[in-house]
Amino acid sequence: MNCGHMNRMLLGAILWITVAIPALADPTKGDWPQWRGPTRDAKTPGGPAWPSSLDALTKRWRVELGPGYSGPIAWNERVFVTETESNEKEIVRALDRKTGTELWRASWSGALSVPFFAKANGDWIRSTPACDGESLFVGGMRDVLVSLDVATSAERWRFDFPERLSAPVPAFGFVSSPLVAGEFVYVQAGGAFVKLNKKTGELIWRSVDGDGGMNSAFSSPVFANFGGVEQVLVQMREELLGLHPDDGEVLWRQTVPSYRGMNILTPTVYGDGVFTSTHKNRTFFYRVANQDGAFTVNEAWNNSAQGYMSSPVVIGDHAYLHLGNGRLCCIDLRSGKETWRSKSFGKYWSMAVQENRILALDERGELLLIEAVPEEFRLLDRKEVSDKECWAHVAVSNNEILVRDLGGVTLFDWPSANSKVTE
């Protein structure tokens, strides 16, 4: 057995016991600091229990913005949003969480024209920023990652991937949302997967350079632990990989059947494996094993469900996946059996989870509250929250819901009987 692998297995097991999946914030505080929340799985632990209806949902404030796909994020008293202005520049704004008042803004040139077949969905900024309380990390369309001071908007550093790494500007722009863990930032950019020092912007390593369809990567990374080894789970356009966070070593890789490389959603960890689904293809569960320091990957099951852009959520032993045909389905992760499908809704859902409740934002501007049970589709309530399309990921923080549509961002209060709305 390789001694290096043995040492890293032992260290990984210790780290996993003490820190589990790295989060940017204490989940019990209710901050929503990055793509899909504090643990990047759309779960919202802490805070008051969600109501059983949307009747009490009320708008506190709204701020008009230029178009954008980036999800809003929240840290302490601030909300951060991005936008594209006049197809010329990208803007980042910090808003007061209580009132929506603008606290600061930063901007830079960031126009990019996406391929013609994607034009219907616009050329706007896509990557959801990440915040660690001191810095805000923003991915600009022309493959640039910018670090801004949370308090003042001062630029701390900028990494221009095409310029620094001689990489082509990705056809669909910077889409992958950065992951911050410890002192580092991880992201798919520059035709590779990279690790940067979050304080200085120094490149620590560059892995799978130009390998497996990295250009215009769509999916966002998450942390996982398989076989006692902490690793970064990366879904590229044609492959799924586990990378060691210390040096970017490829621990394992698995080809994922795809249609034109449309592996878009964020893969989901369940037990000893990975759940994923691809456009116009199938849904897969891959089991990852560590045998004496060498990783193996095997397809445990697949089924005919076809995901697309909407990342799934896992509750208990079941995954809830919004499909390319607009339906929500429930899949038993132990067997791969699909237990039900709903009627068709919109083209895209972003979802947040508390216990067995799902709050879903439909791309058509409707919020849906669902009781997640494997027996049947149970829609508890629904409410229109925007007359514009909503492609950005919904953010949920305690009794607040942030909805970013193509014309602005709105903060809604959603108080339960035992919660108190901040005045």
Residues 268 and 275 sit within 8 Å (Cβ to Cβ): yes
Structure tokens that stand for 342 in this block: 């709903």
Percentage of residues in the chain having pLDDT higher than 70: 90
Residue 403 has pLDDT above 70, yes or no: yes
- The pLDDT of 6-23, averaged and rounded, is 43
pTM for the whole thing?
0.92
Average pLDDT over residues 82-109: 96
Q: In which band, very low, low, confident or very high, does the pLDDT at 383 lie, cut at 50, 70 and 90?
A: very high
Instruction: Pull the structure tokens for residue 188.
Output: 């798919």
In the structure, what pLDDT confidence band is assigned to residue 420 with cuts at 50, 70 and 90? low
Looking at residue 15, what is its pLDDT?
40
In percent, the amount of the chain with pLDDT more than 90 equals 80
- How high does pLDDT run on average in the chain? 91
| Per-residue pLDDT band at 72 (split at 50, 70, 90) | very high
Range from 252-261, 288-297, 414-423 carrying the lowest mean pLDDT: 414-423
pLDDT at 45: 77
User: Do the beta carbons of residue 388 and residue 409 sit within 8 Å?
Assistant: no
In 3-state terms the chain splits into helix, strand, coil percentages (rounded to 5) of 5, 45, 50
Distance (Å, rounded) from C-alpha 327 to C-alpha 305? 10
Q: Give me the sheet containing 73-75, strands edge to edge.
A: 73-75, 78-85, 89-96, 102-109
* pLDDT tens string 21-70: 454 456 556 799 999 999 999 999 778 899 999 999 999 999 999 999 99
Phi, psi (degrees; rounded to nearest 5) at 314: -115, 130
Residues paired with residue 248 on neighbouring β-strands, in sequence order: none
**CA separation, residue 287 to residues 131, 270, 298, 300, 419 (Å):** 32, 9, 5, 6, 41
What mean pLDDT do residues 382-399 have?
A: 96
Domains of the chain and CATH, by start = 3-413 (2.130.10.10)
Least confident of 17-21, 73-77, 161-165, 329-333: 17-21
Q: Three-class SS of residue 409?
A: strand
Q: Are 264 and 218 in contact (CB under 8 A)?
A: yes
